Amino acid sequence: MPWSTTHAGVHRLLKVRPLLPRGARGLLAISGGQDSVCLLKLLVDLRPKWGWQLRAVHCDHRWRPDSAANADFVRQLCEGWGVPCEVVTADADYATEAQARHWRYRVFEALASQERCTHVVTGHTASDRTETLLYNLLRGSGTDGLQALAWQRPLSKASPITVVRPLLGLTRQQTGEFCRQFDLPIWSDATNQDTGYARNRIRLELLPYLQQHFNPGVDMTLANTAELLTAEVELLEAMAGELYETSVLPPAGEGEAWKIQRSRLRTAPLALQRRVLRRVLQQVTPAQVSFEHVEKLIALLVAPQGSQSDPFPGGLVAVVDGDWLVLKPSMTT
């Protein structure tokens, strides 16, 4: 079978970015849609060059009347290409996308450990990165929430298994063209067409509009933006960590207050001031820290002696005491 330019591109990528090293044992997560079928075909074709041992997993959420047929389709496709496939059926109803995803990743972890796999491989593409960026941007995320889906990350906190996404350099249009070029069968999931879901509206309505009226390459452009933002957030977080260490005094003991040294923070760039203050608030308030909460503390960095904020969720107020911003319970102020 001759290689396509997509085969060559992914082969090159894997040489530069060692996502799935020679001899790795990869567990491929296959839904049966175009992205994961493209992933399966590419890795099966590249397997002889790399000596990987491949297995597959399909999770049946039992969401659709055709989900058992979908699972059979995936199993047959994988096994036809010499990739043993495990189908795992949900034993409970997962009401939301997030719950279903959480279950899926637990399944991946259990199966990967059992099969001694070193990597779990998913079919995420640049288009998924772009959709996630738009989704989070429109919900009002700060830069931290706009970070790109990573090329690789540990499957869970202390897990030796790595999740890798070798298709992040391709758009959904490219995986679709690849599937047509090789006449690959694809299972079309009807719920992907349901515009009742925000993610589907982004994919089916917003992105085509942006492509037509603003930038035909918006898929890849915004995915690249997300990648750049990720590196910038990492840098800012590291710098904020250093500033935090030298400007924040956590309570020394029971009943003691948090203290922030105003002169240290005032001379730092505003972006770092905000990150340090956000970190403090994250530790003292039970609620989600909002933009307004952080800005209240920013204002107190230059406010006169005795100034104070109104209470933050959890009941603490911030009070200016000389060079210090002191966080204490509102009752005692």
Ligand X SMILES: Nc1ncnc2c1ncn2[C@@H]1O[C@H](COP(=O)(O)OP(=O)(O)OP(=O)(O)O)[C@@H](O)[C@H]1O
Q: Could you tell me the smallest distance in angstroms from the CB atom of residue 260 to ligand X?
A: 36
Contact 296, 318 (CB under 8 A): yes
- For every residue of 100-163, DSSP letters joined together read HHHHHHHHHHHHHHHTT-SEEE----HHHHHHHHHHHHHHT--GGGGPPPPSEEESSTT-S-EE
Under the binding rule (CB under 6 A), the answer on residue 58 touching ligand X is yes
Query: Among the candidate windows 77-85, 117-125, 200-208, 237-245, which touches ligand X by CB under 6 A?
Result: 117-125
Q: Which residues neighbour 76 within 8 Å (Cβ) at sequence distance 6 or greater?
A: none
Under the binding rule (CB under 6 A), the answer on residue 162 touching ligand X is no
Q: How many residues bind ligand X (CB under 6 A)?
A: 15
Please report, in range form, the residues annotated as the binding site for ATP: 31-36
Which residue lies nearest ligand X, judged by its C-beta? 123
Closest to ligand X by CB, 99 or 261 = 99
- Of residues 3, 323, 9, the one with CA closest to residue 174: 9
Under the binding rule (CB under 6 A), the answer on residue 30 touching ligand X is yes
Angle between helices 270-284 and 218-247 (to 10 degrees): 70
| Integer angstrom CA distances of residue 316 from 280, 295, 308, 319 | 12, 16, 11, 10
Closest to ligand X by CB, 164 or 297 = 164
Under the binding rule (CB under 6 A), the answer on residue 49 touching ligand X is no
Please report, in range form, the residues annotated as the binding site: 31-36
| Integer angstrom CA distances of residue 149 from 128, 132, 154, 236 | 8, 8, 13, 18
Rg (CA), the chain: 24
Q: Could you tell me the smallest distance in angstroms from the CB atom of residue 18 to ligand X?
A: 20
User: CA-CA distance, 104 to 122, in Å (whole number)?
Assistant: 12
Query: Among the candidate windows 9-17, 31-39, 138-146, 258-266, which touches ligand X by CB under 6 A?
Result: 31-39
Under the binding rule (CB under 6 A), the answer on residue 130 touching ligand X is no
Among 6, 34, 36, 230, binds ligand X (CB under 6 A): 36
Q: Could you tell me the smallest distance in angstroms from the CB atom of residue 117 to ligand X?
A: 14
Among 128, 203, 219, 278, binds ligand X (CB under 6 A): 128
Number of H helices, E strands in the chain: 12, 10
Q: Could you tell me the smallest distance in angstroms from the CB atom of residue 183 to ligand X?
A: 20
Under the binding rule (CB under 6 A), the answer on residue 124 touching ligand X is yes
Closest to ligand X by CB, 17 or 199 = 199
Q: Which two tokens stand for residue 302?
A: 């230059």
User: CA-CA distance, 230 to 146, in Å (whole number)?
Assistant: 8
Footprint of ligand X on residues 59-78 (CB under 6 A)?
59
Binding site for ligand X (CB under 6 A): 29-31, 35-36, 57-59, 97, 101, 104, 122-124, 128
